[in-house]
Amino acid sequence: MASVICPSYSGAAVLRATKVDGCCAPVYEDPENPGNSGQVVTDAFVSVQVSPGEGDNGGGGGGGGGGGDGDSVTKANGQVCMQTVQCNPPQAYTLNLTLCALDPELVLIMKPTWCAIRDSAGTIIGFTAKGKANCDSGFALELWMNVFSGASAACRAGGAAQHGYLLFPCITNVSIGEFTVQNGPITFSFTGTTKRGSNWGRGPYNVLMDEGRPSPLPCPIADDDDFVQFLTTFPPPEAECGKQPVDGGIPEPAELYIQGVPGRDRCTVELRPDNHGFGAVEVDWGDATISKIRSYGTGTHTYQGCFPGQSREVTITVRDAQWPQIQTQKTITIPLPEDEPSLTVYQDPTDTTGRTAIVEVQLPPQAWCGAPDSDTTRCACPGESQIGRYGISVDWGDSAGPDRVQWIATEDDCRVRLRHEFETDGTFQVKVCRNDIDTWCAKEPFIAGGGLRPLIRFVEWRDNCTAAICVDNWDKGTVSIDWGTGTPEGRQVNVTPGEDIQFTYGENFRSRRPVIVVCSEAENKQCAGTLRPPPCPAAPTDCLQITPSCDTYADPSGRTISLALDTTCASGCLNTTAACNFYGDPTGRTVTLNLDTTCGRVSPCLAL
């Protein structure tokens, strides 16, 4: 059984407020723009009151979830007929901070629209309260609470003092509360609201001792995290008046999210690097092209010499702009394969009831494939993906409970084979989504029960858009095939199952994707699920045609040759270099023409 520490707390030592941007990421000090970041550590506070909020996120209840509101129906005799309890949506939290001393720069971190007042020496001596609302930025609040469980519990082995650490990663919409100028102590209160979707990550500070090493947060802040609390032996910061810069430290490698661009061919790639709030990155696209992507930005790049049917691998390298030695790489295929998973669903032939599904998934190489790292699995919470952004999520369509969706990692080659047994007969929609970009999904129906149906697999496309498929009817005789053309020719009967059954769609079907249905011609006429092969690929074309002719207009002697170059399918990818061929003709009248078509398809005619 895992060990657990159960401390109690009394009072607090210090708090730290850190400026965050509109995406709730820490604002790090920029050497080219000094003073843009900011953190203030103070012990001059009376209390921090935390309350479940009300309003847009729901009202009533407590602790970020709240108690459910009930609806009841009363019978005519006055007795309750039925009663339902609704689960309220998560709520934000309201924080009320009461200060016993005013640090102007702390106030300006909480209220960035207010204005600093400086004396003639430039020292900040106060602030001007402005009637401006600001929800585009905010601050993070950290608190170090004192441990109160007896003297022995306040220290661990080696004499390291313990504190309770509490983090609210994003607080916004701050307002000043009521205060009274009186004959006695004067306190000031500020109220703010927590905001989810923080990009605090693991934070810019060390707050934990991990096996004797100072470390930031053990896990990055997730999109739905409200606050974090744990026990730490790392000492709290020292309180001081005024603002200090936030040094970014050494960033972690960026995470890369890659997909195609809607409306563009698969030679254009979209890259969204998540640099964990550490600023811009430099991208080497793997073809001698380098560009910069700003923080939270997205970049696109079109690869030259990219044509259908001529795939190649390129390695994208992303470096932190300020720390170029911190980099990550991703190898992709150009032209970019389709972004959605490739999904094949069929019955397990070892289960004669027909209720067991075999699901084969192929992710594109731009997805996050392979096993997750140990930090990813360690930071997973119940009800969330235990493998982070790696692999796939699978919705089997046969449950409404917490087990409806499973998260599964793929092999390094982006493939995974799954087996699932359905408890009842019926048609179930099996849905598979990428975990890195979960908008890319594939869905296929599975017909459970009734025995084994024909198995149908796509083999390949051949000349003239001829599809080759493999059909197995489990020794039950012939099958009928509907090739999805909507014509009599596209419906075939008395077809003998085999490994190479072909149908020609013709040249007009290029870039289209058919729907194929195979049914057994045995008594029960059982049909397999639909098969949707990939689109029939476009036909390759020669990208260069040269037509020579004598240019008698420019040179009546007839010694000048004009070359008409047709490169309409090369997208401007042709470079020519002319030179006198003295080796072959000492008179210098022979010209050698070098044609560089490396960025386009090289015509076989040039080799003749």
Residue 326 has pLDDT above 50, yes or no: yes
> 3-state DSSP call for residue 381?
coil
Q: Is the same domain home to 20 and 126?
A: yes
pLDDT for the residue numbered 604? 34
Domain that holds residue 323: 255-334
Sequence-ordered alpha helix ranges (H) in 63-138: 104-110
Mean pLDDT of the region 401-430? 90
- Range scoring the smallest mean pLDDT among 317-326, 350-359, 577-586: 577-586
CA 434-437-443 angle, to 5 degrees, is 40
Q: Is the same domain home to 107 and 199?
A: yes
- Range scoring the smallest mean pLDDT among 123-127, 432-436, 594-598: 594-598
Q: Is the same domain home to 30 and 178?
A: yes
Q: Is residue 553 situated within a structural domain?
A: yes
Q: Is the same domain home to 295 and 234?
A: no
pLDDT for the residue numbered 357? 93
Q: Is the same domain home to 138 and 205?
A: yes
Q: ω before 335 within 30° of 0 (cis)?
A: yes
Residue 287: CATH number of its domain: 2.60.40
Q: Is residue 340 situated within a structural domain?
A: no
Q: Is residue 69 situated within a structural domain?
A: no
Q: What is the pLDDT of residues 353-382, one digit of tens each?
A: 999 999 999 999 999 999 998 888 888 888
Distance CA(582)–CA(591), nearest Å, equals 9
CA distances from 367 to 391, 413, 414 (A): 8, 11, 8
Structural element, H or E, at residue 142? strand 138-147
Q: Is residue 344 situated within a structural domain?
A: no
Q: Is the same domain home to 545 and 477?
A: yes
At 601, the pLDDT band (50, 70, 90 cuts) reads: very low
Q: Is the same domain home to 188 and 279?
A: no
Of 224, 244, 264, the domain-final residue: 244
Residue 128 has pLDDT above 60, yes or no: yes
Number of domains in the chain: 4
pLDDT for the residue numbered 137? 82
Q: Is residue 63 situated within a structural domain?
A: no
Task: Please give the model's pTM, rounded to 2 decimal places.
Answer: 0.74
In b/e form, how buried is each residue of 441-463, taking b as 16+ CB within 10 angstroms? Answer: bbebebbbeebbbbbbebeebee
Q: Is the same domain home to 458 and 438?
A: no
Say how many CA atoms lie within 13 Å of 330 toward its Cβ: 25
Burial class (CB in 10 A: 0-12, 13-18, 19+), 306: buried
Residue linked to tokens 């979209």: 270
Q: Are 478 and 494 in contact (CB under 8 A)?
A: yes
Of 199, 218, 244, the domain-final residue: 244
Of 334, 365, 394, the domain-final residue: 334
At 91, the pLDDT band (50, 70, 90 cuts) reads: confident
- Range scoring the smallest mean pLDDT among 321-330, 397-406, 599-608: 599-608
Amino acid identity of residue 207, one-letter, is V
Q: Is the same domain home to 326 and 368?
A: no
Q: What is the pLDDT of residues 41-57, one digit of tens each?
A: 999 999 999 998 654 44
Residue 87 has pLDDT above 80, yes or no: no
Distance CA(49)–CA(590), nearest Å, equals 89
214-220 long-range contacts, Cβ below 8 Å, gap at least 24? 217/167, 218/378, 218/379, 219/375, 219/378, 219/379, 220/276, 220/379
Q: Is residue 74 situated within a structural domain?
A: no
Residue 458's closest CA among 468, 446, 444?
Answer: 468
Distance CA(118)–CA(124), nearest Å, equals 4
Q: Is the same domain home to 275 and 361?
A: no
- Range scoring the smallest mean pLDDT among 492-501, 542-551, 582-591: 582-591
Q: Is the same domain home to 239 and 275?
A: no
Q: Is the same domain home to 259 and 397?
A: no
